[in-house]
Amino acid sequence: MLVIVAPGQGAQTPGFLTPWLEDTTFASRLEWLSTVAGLDLRHYGTEADADAIRDTQVAQPLLVATGLVAALELFPHPADAFSKIGAVAGHSVGELTAAAGARVITAEQAMVLVRERGKAMAEAAAVTPTGMTAILGGDRDEVLAVLEKHGLTPANDNGPGQVVAAGTLEQLEALANDPPAKARLMPLSVAGAFHTEHMAPAVGHLAKLARSVSVHDARIPVISNKDGTILHEGREVLARLVGQIASPVRWDLCLDAMSDFGVTGILEMPPAGTLTGIAKRALKGVETFALKSPDQLDEARAFVQKHGEASPIDTTPTWRMIVSPAKGTFHVAENVADADSLEPGAPIGEVATLRDRTRVVSVHGGQVVEWLVEDGDIVSPGQPLLRLHPEGVA
């Protein structure tokens, strides 16, 4: 099982796009997305210094555009990807890359959203002096307790030994003077407290724009930053993309979902290295591939062939598939098991996990063709539960 991941802000380095732009096709595609974003991404990816590309309004579009164009280099015929990729995930702004890769939104929609996301987050960050500090090592429970003590938010929980605290500069100073035991603090060079309540104004701005965005159900399961659940319905993917601006990134739960999925290989899109580094520590035995330069493309395609396995989602237009959001025990909703058809939004059951119970609904509704599980069955993330035939489709 192959999972493709896209990195978030901070992964960019000066000049990282230089070797990629030697390819005229890559260069022309990047120029198109630059036009949509209203930024000279070629300049920022080749000539700009570290301070220039650290700017939120630059870094975010640069990362999303790079991931999208590199994906077309890896999969020259995009439809081929759907028969190879088991799931996609993105860290923070990388979720926009993942959503476009799964065909929930178009590349152009992703660029408009990331452009506005970056601007809105920069404006929100300017209201109050805030920042972020990485906490490396220490006991996780103790780390979280210290953050709560100082009023800080664990904005990124990246897995064993890496939590990122976010809050006001005064709160971060208090943390520096009273750190968790056996932990090392590393202040991050970012504009503000991302993925916290300080970003609420940015959520409001993007939510208004999202009302006009048309979406499609995912062609590949999308693993959500919010809680590691598996998403298929396009509107939910978009809603979470908006909300995660002010919500913590639970990459640790994304890693748990990958493990539950049975992942054997993780390939990180450029600028790669951060997420594969985390995966090596957290998912022992899982192979990783950090795609950093175009001279690795043949090797990357071989990695895809080795680990590629088709998504369990049936994308035939005349069928709709409802899939499990997580690993757990499926419980069929009352009065649904014998139903001949379902209304849009009808609950079909719940998946009970060790953490909670996740409600599963029939978003679109339709005629019940086939139940693929029974009450009490153990299900895996993305596993098909029910096949529907849309009403009115011949």
The pLDDT tens digits for 370-384 are 999 999 999 998 899
What does the alpha-carbon distance between residue 394 and residue 143 come to, in Å, rounded to a whole number?
Answer: 57
**What is the structure's pLDDT at 11?**
92
Average pLDDT over residues 198-227: 94
Does residue 97 lie within any of the structural domains?
yes
Q: Which of 92, 224, 247, 324 is catalytic?
A: 92
150-178: average pLDDT: 95
Instruction: Among 307, 336, 364, give the residue marking a domain's end.
Output: 307
In 31-80, at which residue ranges do the beta strands (DSSP E only) sit?
Answer: none
The answer to whether residue 89 sits within a structural domain is: yes
Q: What is the mean pLDDT of the chain?
A: 93
Predicted confidence band at 176 (pLDDT cuts at 50, 70, 90)?
very high
Residues 47 and 151 in one domain: no
Residue pair 144/164 in contact (Cβ under 8 Å)? The answer is: no
Would residue 169 count as lying in a domain?
A: yes
Of 164, 188, 212, at which residue does a domain stop? Answer: 188
150 catalytic? Reply is no
Domain boundary among 286, 307, 328: 307
**What does the pLDDT look like over 104-119, one tens digit per residue?**
999 999 999 999 999 9
Residues 203 and 337 in one domain: no
pLDDT at 139 over 90: yes
* Domain membership flag for residue 394: no
Domain of residue 178, CATH code = 3.30.70.250
pLDDT band for position 393 (cuts 50, 70, 90): very low
Q: What is the pLDDT of residue 278?
A: 94
Q: Catalytic: which of 34, 91, 150, 195?
A: 195
Say what the pLDDT of residue 190 is: 83
Residue 52 CA to residue 276 CA, distance in Å, equals: 25
Token reading at 21: 């732009």
Answer yes or no: do 137 and 225 share one domain: no
Residue of 134, 185, 181, 179 whose CA lies nearest to 159: 134
CATH of residue 228: 3.40.366.10
- Give me the CATH number covering residue 370: 2.40.50.100
End-to-end CA distance of the chain: 34
Degrees to nearest 5, angle at CA 115 with 119 and 277: 95
Same domain for 231 and 102? Answer: yes
Q: Is residue 314 part of a domain?
A: no
User: Cβ distance 202 to 244 under 8 Å?
Assistant: no
Are residues 287 and 256 in contact, defined by beta-carbon separation less than 8 angstroms?
no
* Class of residue 200 by CB neighbours under 10 A (exposed 0-12, middle 13-18, buried 19+): exposed
Supply the pLDDT for residue 311.
65
Residues 103 and 232 in one domain: yes
Highest mean pLDDT among 73-82, 154-163, 266-275: 266-275
- Number of domains comprising the chain: 3
119 shares its domain with 131: no
Instruction: Look at residue 360 in the predicted model and tell me its pLDDT.
Output: 94
pLDDT above 80: residue 21: yes
Answer for the pair 32, 63: CB distance below 8 angstroms, yes or no: no
Task: Indicate whether 117 and 29 sit together in one domain.
Answer: yes
Q: What is the pLDDT of residue 312?
A: 61
State whether 216 and 110 are in the same domain. Answer: yes
Domain assignment present for 45:
yes
pLDDT (0 to 100) of residue 203: 96
DSSP 100-153: HHTTSS-HHHHHHHHHHHHHHHHHHHTTS-EEEEEEEES-HHHHHHHHHHTT-E
For 279-303, what is each residue's pLDDT tens digit? Answer: 999 999 999 999 999 999 999 999 9
Question: Is 341 annotated in the active site?
Answer: no
Domain check: are 134 and 279 in the same one? no
Percent of the chain whose pLDDT exceeds 70: 97
- pTM above the 0.85 mark? yes
Once rounded to an integer, what is the mean pLDDT over residues 96-107? 96
Helix (H, G, I), strand (E, B) or coil at 91: coil
**Residue 55: band (very low, low, confident or very high) from pLDDT cuts 50, 70, 90:** very high
Tell me, yes or no, whether 312 lies in a domain: no
Same domain? 175 vs 262:
no
- In this prediction, residues 150-174 reach a mean pLDDT of 95
Work out the angle at residue 117's Cα, subtended by the Cα atoms of residues 121 and 64, and round it to the nearest 5 degrees: 120
What's the confidence (pLDDT) of residue 313?
62
> Mean pLDDT throughout 251-259?
96
Q: What is the pLDDT of residues 299-354, one digit of tens each?
A: 999 999 999 986 666 554 457 889 999 999 999 998 898 899 999 989 999 999 88
Average pLDDT over residues 137-158: 95
CA angle in degrees (0–180, nearest 5) for 76-92-161: 115
* Domain carrying residue 348: 320-389
What Rg do the C-alpha atoms of the chain give, in angstroms?
Answer: 21
Buried b (16+ CB within 10 A) or exposed e, 9-48: bbbbebebbeebbeeeebeebbeebbebbebebbebbbeb
The mean pLDDT value for 214-230 works out to 93
Average pLDDT over residues 87-93: 97
Q: Same domain, yes or no, for 179 and 89?
A: no
Let me know whether 343 and 272 are in one domain: no
